[in-house]
Amino acid sequence: MYQPRSERIPLIFEQGQPGRANRYLPSDAQLSDYLPAENLRAELPLPESTELDVVRHYTRLSQRTFGIDTGFYPLGSCTMKYNPRVNDAVANLPGLRDLHPFAPDELSQGALRIMYELERSLASLFGMAAFSLNPAAGAHAELAALLIAKKYFSDRGELNRQTVIVPDTAHGTNPASASMAGFRVVSLKSDERGRVGVDTLRAVLGDDTAVCMMTNPNTLGLFEDHIAEIARAVHDAGGLMYYDGANANALMGIARPGDMGFDLMHLNLHKTFTIPHGGGGAGAGPLGVAEHLVEYLPTPVVRAIAKDGSTANEDSRTYWLDFDVPKSIGPMRSFWSNFAHIVRALAYLYANGLEGLTDVSRLAVLNANYVRVKVAPFLETPYPEICQHEFVASAQELKKQSGVRAVDIAKALLDRGFHAPTMYFPLIVPECLMIEPTETESKETLDQFIAALEDVVATAKRDPQQILDAPQRTVVARVDETRAARQPDLRWRAPAGVT
């Protein structure tokens, strides 16, 4: 049997021979038959391999990649839950996969209905007036939301509203998006309970406040229990509330950002709604807004009307893309949505229904608390209270005792067949490990993970060098990131003298 080994896999550019490609299409034409030769490219220095060689190459590369399908992946804030295969199957139906974005509305009714249904469902599930499926990812939706805020205040003549408030536990995308939309950022220090303090917030609110961006549960896995007061304070100051939906997996059927007073929000469908992360994307980041901001949503907007003029009867509706929305901030991307992912998300919604989604969130919270209480005896948990879908642990004490840091624990977990938790985030917890088990993991898997983590900590105390030398069982040992950054090698180049 073939065992994945650890020897170097040559780059695709170092493989093959000229003459081994060009098998898929007729070859009865030359570019120069139709175009002036001086307009054409002289050389195209790409490798040529047989199909078998290409299949082997990428199969071998896949064997050196850890996915949810490979093992437990408790990466905090990333919601690495099982990605059901039926979602991929329906996204791959030719009537959905092969639809051209400029196909006329009347011939794209199935696709438009999928978009409309998901949009309506999300609005109801999260308590917002409407969603746009336009943004390609969470950060993209944040940018769109802040552009909406900017336009909204500008329309109201409140040009002084230039400040975006971001807690110090926020995802890095929040302040980065605010800068991209031309706002100034004020960072808000969390209180000793890991939450935004209402008084701390009040101290920075003013007539320059545009938006306050919050994650709830926050990145410590804690519910912001003063959220109603916070929202009131921001609204009283004339600002808008933004909900970062990265952690929405804790909330479905339990609470709604709309009910908490949020005016704008995004979801990461690639987290909560089981879209495969695919090595870092593509994702999808629907953007939700309250009633007063609906007219600013990006274009196009999916609309529906029944033959009798109402929107009631879903089977007699006609759907269309509305590009003519005068107050819209405009489009955020080339075409309408990451549609294949909209399909996947709706399939997931169908598979669960409201009760199922509520159970998803309840069991995500159960799993996180279970791991938290089991880990607490051997690893510091700086916020020892009921958490939501994730929690943070800290290797600070362990580091003092043994010199073993969060990164070393992460690497030792890799050797034990688990993916590492998120490390060093949020920034306010030293030697932070952020653990999000998700609801699709069984108690057996959680127990195995807890045992592995305990073993790592025990080994660290007994024989720290063993942990400092991890990982040992992966195809490469710890990677020299300093060298990577100091001497960037970002592409292959043909050896001198070879073309």
Partner 1 sequence: MPYLPHTKRDIAQMLDAIGVASIDELVRVPAAVALRAKPEIVAALPESEIVRRFEEFAGSDRATTMASFLGAGAYRHYCPPAIMALAMRGEFLTSYTPYQAEVSQGYLQAIYEWQTYICLLTGLDIADASVYDGATALAEGAIMALAATNRKKILVSRAVHPNYRAVLKTYCDGLDVAIDEVPLLPGGMTDPQALRDALSRGSYAAVALQSPNFFGIVETVPEDVRDAFKRSGTVPIAVVAEALALAAFPTPASWGAQICVGEAQSFGVALAYGGPYVGFIACTSDHLRRIPGRLVGRTVDRNGKEAYVLTLQAREQHIRRERATSNICTNQAHCALIATIYLALMGASGLRNCAAQNVKRAHELVKRVSAIPGCRLQFEAPFFNEFVLNVGSSAADVLKALQKRGILGGLDLGRFYHEMSDCILMTATEMTTSKDIDALCAALQEVVRVPASL
Partner 2 sequence: MAQPPDLLYSREHEWVRIDSDTATIGITDYAQSSLGDIVYVELPKVGTQVAQFSNTGVIESVKAVSDLYTPLSGEVTEVNEALENDPALVNREPFAGGWLFKLQVKDSKQSENLLSPDSYEELIAEAQ
Question: Does 481 engage in binding with partner 2 (CB under 8 A)?
Answer: yes
114 close to 342: Cβ distance less than 8 angstroms: yes
Which residues between 371 and 430 bind partner 2 (CB under 8 A)? 424
Binding partner selected for residue 137 from partner 2, partner 1, none, CB under the kind-specific 5 to 8 Å limit: partner 1
Question: Does 23 engage in binding with partner 1 (CB under 8 A)?
Answer: yes
CA torsion angle 375 376 379 383 (round to 10): 120
Q: Which range binds partner 2 by CB under 8 A, 102-110, 183-191, 246-254, 478-486?
A: 478-486
Q: Which range binds partner 1 by CB under 8 A, 103-111, 188-196, 202-210, 457-465?
A: 103-111
Question: Does 143 engage in binding with partner 1 (CB under 8 A)?
Answer: yes
Among 72, 74, 76, 113, contact with partner 1 (rule: CB under 8 A)? 113
Q: What is the 3-state secondary structure (H, E, C) of 382-450?
A: CCCCCCCCCEEEECHHHHHHHCCCHHHHHHHHHHCCCCCCEECCCCCCCCEEEECCCCCCCHHHHHHHH
Question: Does 376 engage in binding with partner 1 (CB under 8 A)?
Answer: no
Using CB atoms within 10 A of its CB, is residue 487 exposed (0-12), middle (13-18) or buried (19+)? exposed
Q: Which residue, 228 or 458, is less far from partner 1 as judged by CB? A: 228
CB of 175 to partner 2, least distance (A): 13
Give the whole-angstrom CA distance, residue 339 versus residue 114.
9
Site pattern 430..469 for partner 2 (x: CB under 8 A): ----------------------------------------
Question: Does 318 engage in binding with partner 1 (CB under 8 A)?
Answer: no
Which residues between 188 and 217 bind partner 1 (CB under 8 A)? none
Per-residue exposure over 39-62, b if at least 16 CB sit within 10 Å of its own CB, e if not? eeeeeeeebebeeebbeebeeeee
147 close to 135: Cβ distance less than 8 angstroms: no
Among 8, 482, 490, 496, contact with partner 2 (rule: CB under 8 A)? 482
66's tokens: 């850890």
Among 420, 435, 457, 467, contact with partner 1 (rule: CB under 8 A)? 420
Give the whole-angstrom CA distance, residue 301 versus residue 294.
10
188's tokens: 């808000």
- Which residues does residue 391 pair with via DSSP β-bridges, in sequence order? 435
CB of 484 to partner 1, least distance (A): 4
Among 37, 159, 476, 496, contact with partner 1 (rule: CB under 8 A)? 476
Which amino acid type is present at position 442? S
222's tokens: 């804690």
Q: Which residue, 317 or 461, is less far from partner 1 as judged by CB? A: 317
297 close to 141: Cβ distance less than 8 angstroms: no
Question: Does 479 engage in binding with partner 1 (CB under 8 A)?
Answer: yes
310's tokens: 């109402």
Judged by CB under 8 A, the number of residues near partner 2 is 5
Which amino acid type is present at position 268? N
Site pattern 262..281 for partner 1 (x: CB under 8 A): ------x-x---x-xxxxxx
Which residues between 450 and 469 bind partner 1 (CB under 8 A)? none
Which residues between 48 and 67 bind partner 1 (CB under 8 A)? 48-49, 51, 54-55, 57-67
Question: Does 43 engage in binding with partner 2 (CB under 8 A)?
Answer: no
Q: Which residue, 370 or 378, is less far from partner 1 as judged by CB? A: 370
132 close to 361: Cβ distance less than 8 angstroms: no
Q: Which residue, 486 or 491, is less far from partner 2 as judged by CB? A: 486
Q: Strand (E) positions, 128-224?
A: 130-132, 163-167, 184-188, 209-215
Among 163, 369, 394, 402, contact with partner 1 (rule: CB under 8 A)? 369
Q: Strand (E) positions, 280-365?
A: 287-289, 301-306, 317-322
Among 237, 329, 345, 435, contact with partner 1 (rule: CB under 8 A)? 329
Q: Which range binds partner 2 by CB under 8 A, 38-46, 362-370, 431-439, 481-489?
A: 481-489
Binding site for partner 2 (CB under 8 A): 424, 481-482, 485-486
